[in-house]
Amino acid sequence: MDYDIIQSGERIRQLRVESGLTQEKLAAELNIDRSLLSHVEAGKRGCSVDLFVRLSNFFGVSLDLLILGKKQATPQIANDHAALKSNITELVEQLEALRARL
């Protein structure tokens, strides 16, 4: 997955709209010029690392989501996957032991 400036800008726009913010309001919250935000959302200009970090913190999303569009697994999902893997491993061992007894 590569960085796509247009898609990244669209994700930022979507987050802003979902939050019920105008460009003016978000720009004020981030202490940037509205025209910069407009260019970022339109994919005409990329974000600095600093701005990506501020957007990530403001919206409570990962940098992976903003930059690459990748959603990270939450810790609970990661724990669920680990538990499921452990359960499957245990079941396979039990089946092998049962087969050995037959």
Predicted pLDDT of residue 51: 96
Are 91 and 99 a contacting pair, CB within 8 Å? no
Predicted pLDDT of residue 13: 97
SS3 of the chain: the string is: CCCCHHHHHHHHHHHHHHCCCCHHHHHHHHCCCHHHHHHHHCCCCCCCHHHHHHHHHHHCCCHHHHHHCCCCCCHHHHHHHHHHHHHHHHHHHHHHHHHHHC
Predicted pLDDT of residue 26: 96
pTM attached to this predicted model: 0.69
Question: Could you read off the pLDDT tens digit of each residue along the chain, which spans 102 residues?
Answer: 689 999 999 999 999 999 999 999 999 999 999 999 999 999 999 999 999 999 999 999 999 999 999 876 556 666 777 778 888 888 889 999 988 988
Predicted pLDDT of residue 85: 82
